[in-house]
Amino acid sequence: MEPVAMSPADRSGSLVGRRNSSGLTRDIEIIEILGSSEAMASDGLGVVRVAQLTGRDKTVVSRSLATLADAGLVDRDPQSLNYRLGSRIFALAARSAESTLAARARPMIHRIAHSTRETTHLCVLRGGNVLTVLSALSPHEFRSTGWEGVTTAAWRTPSGRVLISDWDRESLRSWYAEHGHDRPIVGPLDPAMSASGFVVLDTPPEGKARIHDFESLLVEVERIRERGYATLDEELESGVVGASAPVTDFTGRIVAAINVSAPKSRIGDRLEVLGTYVRTAAAELSQALGAPKAH
């Protein structure tokens, strides 16, 4: 195959264009161009510009973009008619990142469960919900269990509050306006019962609710920032307490939360000690993911 002139996207290191490559390779080339700094800076690229960068006929490029849009891999702005990376690309990337995170975290999650002898979860944020991607069960017969693969309203959980604790005030305000009244369970379970068998509470008992409006969310977020962990005392499940701490990646961004939950009768008087322990474990996992050491 004869070499072709490098486009600006090529010179930035994204790919080398091939005029006669297969259809899949051509589509990948378009996706990479739409992920280039030029496309990101201008909120997408039009058919003519994509054709220039690929060195292909604009009619062919237009058909390819239409096919990719039908698949959800690119989006077309109805005003500018520019194309940009689609939501499906980001959803697939998020799932891949979560799989990698779960694989790296698995030994740590099992170690925490063995050390505390309590059920331990790894959680991520999905919109207004917390998704449990990994669980290690307590060896006790009476245990909190069964949340893996289930989502629940983030504002009701310590993990959810931890996962948004590095957001700025306006981001928190927008998020709470949209999700601050979501029901506890948002998953394949009966809304009145968790898989652990504990009753899931639509309304926390009097005096138990940490979050009841936006200002109380801000207070809780500040508490999490100061302590490095969040606690839960029967807000979500009757008779269940827990502690969560943030996991950060190499950028310092919070990407997950480690949560340990247990019956209040067994660990309620040691909840703050548990929070400190989970914070230390989360920091260790963060360093394994490349996060800078805290000073």
Q: What gap in Å lies between CA 144 and CA 147, rounded to an integer? A: 9
User: Coil, strand or helix: which one is 64?
Assistant: helix
Predicted TM-score of the model (pTM)? 0.64
Return per-residue pLDDT of the chain as tens, 295 residues. 333 344 444 434 444 444 344 678 888 889 888 888 788 777 889 999 999 998 899 999 999 999 999 888 899 988 889 998 887 876 676 666 677 788 889 999 999 999 999 989 999 998 888 988 888 887 765 544 455 566 788 998 999 999 999 999 999 999 999 998 887 664 444 444 444 444 555 666 666 778 889 999 999 999 999 999 999 988 887 788 999 999 998 888 999 999 999 888 888 889 999 999 999 999 999 998 888 876 5
CA count, 13 A, side-chain hemisphere, 77: 14
* Partners of 7 in beta bridges: none
Q: Chain centroid to CA 44: how far? A: 25
Q: What gap in Å lies between CA 227 and CA 221, rounded to an integer? A: 10
The Cβ of residue 256 has, within 10 Å, a number of other Cβ atoms equal to 30
Q: What gap in Å lies between CA 167 and CA 194, rounded to an integer? A: 29
Nearest to 210 by CA among 266, 154, 166: 154
Whether CATH 1.20.58.1610 fits 8-85: no
One-character DSSP codes across 178-221: HHTT--SB-SSS-TTB-TTSSBBPSSPPTTT-S-SSHHHHHHHH
Q: How many helices (H) and strands (E) does the chain have?
A: 11, 8
Residues of the chain within CATH 3.30.450.40 domain(s) are 94-288
* Partners of 185 in beta bridges: 152
User: Coil, strand or helix: which one is 31?
Assistant: helix
Q: Which CATH superfamily is domain 94-288 in?
A: GAF domain (3.30.450.40)
Q: What gap in Å lies between CA 229 and CA 279, rounded to an integer? A: 6
